[in-house]
């Protein structure tokens, strides 16, 4: 074994954390990059704690971002997202992460990859290479960096910080080329009604009632329900094939990060992971999403964007359960709520927007073994 060092920044974006690399600091070959990512994050770890790496034992804390020069004229930077496994050597480039997307604009500004005013508002056009879509990030800067203070609080993160507005432009068909990949608002997968929607990231939505659940269960309870997790994975794999993301069920199993799969219910009183009572009146729609086989403690932002778009599509399960027919949608999840706005017109998703926060946690070199 030999120790190596490579420059990296560790950042929080929304309710996720990731190692962020400049494209120029990484080797060109994907296999060489993947080996660095796995070693740096401490993957795989059969104990699912990742004490010998930067990973946190959860899918939301086990991510890598790569930022480099733009490959298209209407963007300022390219951003590639990488989801890592925990107990398996998974390196998945299949989809984007909306939470970590919030960190990319500030990273680009602070690393000098894009110009910005010393004070005021920065606007960074981000080309996500995983989906081929554009994201416009707007945020306040002070002394040429993301403002240190702000008033936005997001559930799942303590305190307040400066807001980062993320505008997912024309998010429909991010991976499949179609907002409704099967052409239907409702399909049947493994005997269960499901809505297959592709906006920001492809997702599969099923009603909690059809699974015999309330939809307000905490992640710990869902994680202990092996039958539920197996059923959701079966639905996810079948949906992956139906959406054209994978040629067969076996291939769908290897593409773990997309599509996401979630169970939905209407507004409901529920307890959060912090022990707070979330009243039904605080939400328009309730979600429990599975990410890389694990119940998510909040909701992935691309999943929230996709859910908001789905709630504006006639006939979908999301539209049927959502209590709010117009305007921003308050999505209830296991950590609280996330407010997302989406515009759908003529069967096309115009945009989806959400506010998050981000922060640089440390900078320097990550040390890994090979």
pLDDT digits (tens, 9 = 90+) for 100-114: 999 999 999 999 999
CA angle, residues 35, 40, 41, in degrees to nearest 5? 105
**Residue 310 and residue 361 share a domain:** no
Residue 84 domain boundaries: 3-173+357-369
Q: What are phi and psi of 78, to 5 degrees?
A: -95, 145
Please write the tens of the pLDDT for every residue from 187-231.
999 999 999 999 999 999 999 999 999 999 999 999 999 999 999
The two tokens of residue 355 are 């506010």
CA gap 333, 262 in Å, rounded: 11
3-state SS assignment for residue 232: helix
Residues 107 and 222 in one domain: no
Report the C-alpha gap between 59 and 41 in whole angstroms.
Answer: 12
Q: Are 53 and 43 in contact (CB under 8 A)?
A: yes
Average pLDDT, the chain: 95
In a domain, 181, yes or no: no
Do residues 236 and 288 both lie within one domain?
yes
Query: Is 254 part of a structural domain of the chain?
Result: yes
Looking at the fold, whether 86 and 214 belong to one and the same domain comes out as: no
Q: What is the CATH number of the domain that holds 277?
A: 3.10.310.10
- 46 domain-assigned: yes
Same domain, residue pair 150 and 229: no
Quote the strand ranges of 244-326, DSSP E.
260-265, 270-271, 277-278, 285-291, 294-295
The confidence band for 327, taking pLDDT boundaries of 50, 70 and 90, is confident
Check whether residue 101 and residue 77 sit in a common domain.
yes
Task: Report the distance separating Cα 243 and Cα 359, nearest Å.
Answer: 35
Q: Are residues 235 and 114 in the same domain?
A: no
- The DSSP result for 304-356, as a single string, is HHHHHHHTTSTTSHHHHH-S-SSS-EEEEETTEEEEEEEEEETTEEEEEEEEE
Count of the separate structural domains present in the chain: 2
DSSP state of 143: T
Cα(43)–Cα(168) distance, integer angstroms: 31
Residue matched to tokens 């409704």: 180
Q: In this structure, is residue 109 part of a structural domain?
A: yes
Q: Are residues 361 and 340 in the same domain?
A: no
Same domain, 198 and 163: no
Mean pLDDT of 329-357: 93
Contact call for residues 166 and 97 (beta carbons, < 8 A): no
State whether 77 and 118 are in the same domain.
yes
In a shared domain, residues 92 and 197: no
- Please indicate, yes or no, if residue 179 is contained in any of the structural domains: no
pLDDT for 263: 98
Backbone angles phi, psi at 216, to 5 degrees: -110, 5
**Which whole-number Å values give the CA distances from 136 to 37, 93, 166, 254, 326, in the listed order?**
27, 21, 6, 31, 23
270 belongs to a structural domain: yes
Q: Do 128 and 245 belong to one domain?
A: no
**Residue 77 near residue 114, CB atoms below 8 Å:** yes
Q: Is the pLDDT of residue 336 over 90?
A: yes
Q: Is residue 168 part of a domain?
A: yes
Residue 222 lies in a domain: yes
Q: How far apart are CA 227 and CA 305, in angstroms?
A: 28
- pLDDT tens digit string along 239-285? 999 999 999 999 999 998 899 999 999 999 999 999 999 999 999 99
Name every residue whose Cβ is closer than 8 Å to that of residue 347 and which is 6 or more positions away in sequence: 179, 313
> Are 208 and 193 a contacting pair, CB within 8 Å?
no
């Amino acid at each position: 074994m030999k120790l190596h060092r490579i420059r990296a920044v560790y950042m929080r974006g929304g309710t996720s954390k990731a190692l962020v690399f400049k494209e120029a600091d990484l080797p060109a070959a994907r296999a060489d990059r993947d080996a660095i990512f796995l070693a740096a994050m401490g993957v795989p770890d059969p104990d699912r704690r990742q004490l010998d790496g930067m990973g946190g034992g959860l899918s939301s804390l086990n991510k890598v971002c790569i930022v480099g020069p733009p490959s298209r004229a209407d963007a300022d930077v390219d951003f590639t997202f990488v989801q890592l496994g925990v107990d398996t050597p998974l390196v998945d480039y299949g989809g984007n992460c909306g939470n970590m997307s919030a960190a990319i604009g500030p990273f680009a500004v602070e690393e000098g990859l894009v110009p910005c005013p010393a004070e005021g508002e920065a606007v960074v056009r981000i080309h996500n290479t995983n989906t081929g879509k554009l994201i416009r990030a707007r945020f306040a800067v002070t002394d040429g960096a993301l403002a240190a203070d702000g008033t936005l609080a997001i559930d799942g993160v303590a305190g307040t910080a400066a807001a980062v507005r993320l505008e997912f432009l024309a998010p429909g068909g991010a991976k499949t080329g179609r907002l409704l990949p099967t052409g239907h608002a409702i399909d049947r997968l493994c005997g269960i009604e499901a809505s297959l929607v592709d906006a920001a990231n492809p997702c599969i939505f099923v009603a909690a009632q059809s699974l015999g659940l309330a939809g307000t269960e905490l992640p710990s309870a869902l994680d202990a329900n092996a039958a539920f997790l197996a059923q959701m994975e079966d639905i996810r794999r079948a949906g992956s094939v139906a959406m054209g993301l994978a040629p067969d069920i076996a291939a769908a199993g290897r593409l773990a990060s997309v599509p996401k799969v979630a169970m939905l219910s209407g507004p409901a009183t529920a307890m959060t992971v912090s022990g707070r009572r979330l009243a039904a009146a605080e939400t328009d729609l309730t979600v429990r999403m599975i990410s890389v086989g694990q119940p998510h403690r909040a909701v992935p932002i691309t999943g929230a964007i996709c859910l908001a778009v789905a709630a504006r599509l006639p006939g979908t399960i999301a539209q049927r359960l959502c209590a709010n027919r117009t305007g921003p949608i308050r999505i209830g999840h296991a950590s609280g709520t996330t407010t997302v706005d989406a515009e759908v017109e003529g069967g096309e998703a115009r945009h989806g927007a959400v506010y998050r926060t981000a922060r640089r946690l440390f900078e320097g070199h990550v040390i890994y073994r090979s």
